[in-house]
Amino acid sequence: MLPLWTSPDIAAATDGTANGDDFAVAGVAFDSREVGPGDLFVALSGEATDGHRFLDQAFAQGAAGALVSNDTPHPSVRVTDTFAALENLARAARTRTDARIIGVTGSVGKTSTKEALFAALDRGAPDAAHRSVKSYNNHTGVPLSLARMPAAARFGVFEMGMNHPGELAHLTTLVRPHVAIVTAIAPAHTEFFPDESAIADAKGEIFRGLEPGGTAIIPYDSPHRDRLIGAAQPYAAKIVTFGTDNAADVHPIESMALKTGGTFVTAKIGERELSFTIAQPGAHWVFNALAVLAAVDAVGGDLGLAGLALAELGGLPGRGARLIAKVNGGEALVIDESYNANPASMAATLAVLATEPGRHIAVLGEMRELGEGAPAYHAALAEPLTAARVEMALLVGEQMAPLAQALEGKVKFVHVPTAAAALEVLPDMLAPGDAVLVKGSNGVGLSRIVAALAGGMA
């Protein structure tokens, strides 16, 4: 296999100086804990720490070379600024590839759509599709994901996030997508925006980086549809809408819930029809799948194989993965949605919980970065909670107080300040046959609860 980068390539891309023996790398990492054999370690310097402190650790773990701004005895390329050099390496990766590139953003569904897109494209072009790993979608994650893209890739799928205006405008100039998707607009990071229209404007920045002849994919059912279309028109040669309305360019003709929890769908994609199964449960996954098929069609992928990939797609850790936990002499289903939360995704996953057999238990962490509207957004979760027939709610975090008040006399609940406190009381709440949803903003730390359940906490 050809190396991902050689030290002369890295030096040329970053305007750096190679030191020590020439080296070749198979991957790129900026977290020393994630460095593997043959990787390039990028020693980023930030407010909290300096990657140069971990050079010895990175090389002990098998790094082949490093990108540095300080002297080091290790094989390296020295630059003035390692963050700027990482961005330049990303630009070089984007310039050297002939891959069809897809950018994905939105208030909800970014990572799920990105992973489903990768699976769909990889099904038709094995080992020739590339995507952002985990949720690396910010100012460091996007250039890292680009720098990791092999030159011979046929497809690249990149997730792009933001919590302030202007962030996507920059990221999209790095990714330069041929296809740009906005999955949905919903209250998220509202602490930094005056209203949802401002969120839509910030998400619409993704279209500014479209390559000539590019395609914008927009949610038809969104109240911000026309705003997004207006943002796309100056940059997109083609605008494709997706959604449940028959007027959308990509929409379901019929859909049927399956006993397995998934959905069988016949969809209209332009002038064609495709019948396929979605393995993941929930109406939001039908919506995600329509965006995926629109993008696969836009980059010339195989729609039939994309449909097969959707039928095989498993849940992602923290984003819908399912596990069976041992509880009090029996077993319970755990739905792991612990990675993130906002009002829209909370409602969607509670609707999934509603379809499960057994007693419904919801472990919900506070939703962060919602600004002045946070109390109202939390209190409003009472409606989807009661609709999901939740019999016991474990509420985690101070911002859950308005929801606790709204649930008085409606749903049994326990309100605790931290994930650690939740771990102390949860075992006594669970019984065999329960269906347990675990969801909250990542900073709440509910992944600890999922890990404990997986390890047989009870």
pLDDT, tens digit (0-9, with 9 covering 90-100), for 22-77: 999 999 999 999 999 999 999 999 877 899 999 999 999 999 999 999 999 999 99
pLDDT at 1: 67
Answer yes or no: do 272 and 374 share one domain: no
Point out the annotated binding site. Answer: 106-112
Answer yes or no: do 162 and 113 share one domain: yes
Answer yes or no: do 291 and 343 share one domain: no
Q: Is residue 90 part of a domain?
A: no
Q: Is residue 270 part of a domain?
A: yes
Of all residues in the chain, the percent with pLDDT exceeding 70 is 99
pLDDT tens, residue by residue, 325-347: 998 889 999 999 998 899 989 99
Closest CA to 377 of 348, 397, 400: 400
pLDDT at 318: 87
Q: Are 140 and 313 in contact (CB under 8 A)?
A: no
Answer yes or no: do 74 and 101 share one domain: no
Contacts of 336 (CB under 8 A, 6+ apart): 315, 317, 318, 319, 320, 321, 322, 323, 438, 447, 450
CA distance 106 to 322: 24
pLDDT at 135: 76
Which residue, 248, 280, 312, sits at the end of a domain?
312
CA distance 129 to 100: 9
Query: Please, which pLDDT band fits residue 457 given cuts at 50, 70 and 90?
Result: low
Retrieve residue 168's tokens.
């996507």
Query: Please, which pLDDT band fits residue 458 given cuts at 50, 70 and 90?
Result: very low
Answer yes or no: do 294 and 420 share one domain: no
Query: Please, which pLDDT band fits residue 10 given cuts at 50, 70 and 90?
Result: very high
Q: Is residue 88 part of a domain?
A: no
pLDDT at 133: 82
Which residue, 80, 113, 131, sits at the end of a domain?
80
- CA-based end-to-end distance of the chain: 47
pLDDT at 116 over 60: yes
Answer yes or no: do 328 and 300 share one domain: no
Q: Is residue 400 part of a domain?
A: yes
Which residue's entry shows tokens 């994630």? 34
Give the domain CATH number at 185. Answer: 3.40.1190.10
Q: Is residue 267 part of a domain?
A: yes
Answer yes or no: do 372 and 260 share one domain: no
Q: Residue 436 phi/psi, 5° resolution?
A: -120, 120
pLDDT at 54: 95
Retrieve residue 114's tokens.
């990105």
pLDDT at 48: 79
Give the domain CATH number at 12. Answer: 3.40.1390.10
Answer yes or no: do 283 and 197 share one domain: yes
pLDDT tens, residue by residue, 360-388: 999 999 999 898 899 999 999 999 999 99
Which residue, 312, 329, 351, sits at the end of a domain?
312
Average pLDDT, stretch 160-164?
A: 89
With b for 16 or more beta-carbon neighbours within 10 A and e for fewer, the 409-434 pattern comes to eebebbbbeebeebbeebeebbbeeb
Answer yes or no: do 238 and 113 share one domain: yes
Answer yes or no: do 450 and 327 share one domain: yes
Report the domain count for the chain. 3
Of all residues in the chain, the percent with pLDDT exceeding 90 is 85
pLDDT at 329: 82
pLDDT at 189 over 70: no
pTM across the whole model: 0.85
Give the domain CATH number at 439. Answer: 3.90.190.20
Point out the annotated binding site for ATP. Answer: 106-112
pLDDT at 399 over 60: yes
Q: Is residue 157 part of a domain?
A: yes
Q: Is residue 209 part of a domain?
A: yes
pLDDT tens, residue by residue, 128-156: 999 998 778 899 999 999 999 999 999 99
Q: Is residue 361 part of a domain?
A: yes
Answer yes or no: do 29 and 12 share one domain: yes
pLDDT tens, residue by residue, 213-262: 999 999 999 999 999 999 999 999 999 999 999 999 999 999 998 988 89
Average pLDDT, stretch 322-327?
A: 92
Average pLDDT of the chain, as a whole number? 94
Range of the structural domain that residue 195 is part of: 97-312
Answer yes or no: do 182 and 49 share one domain: no
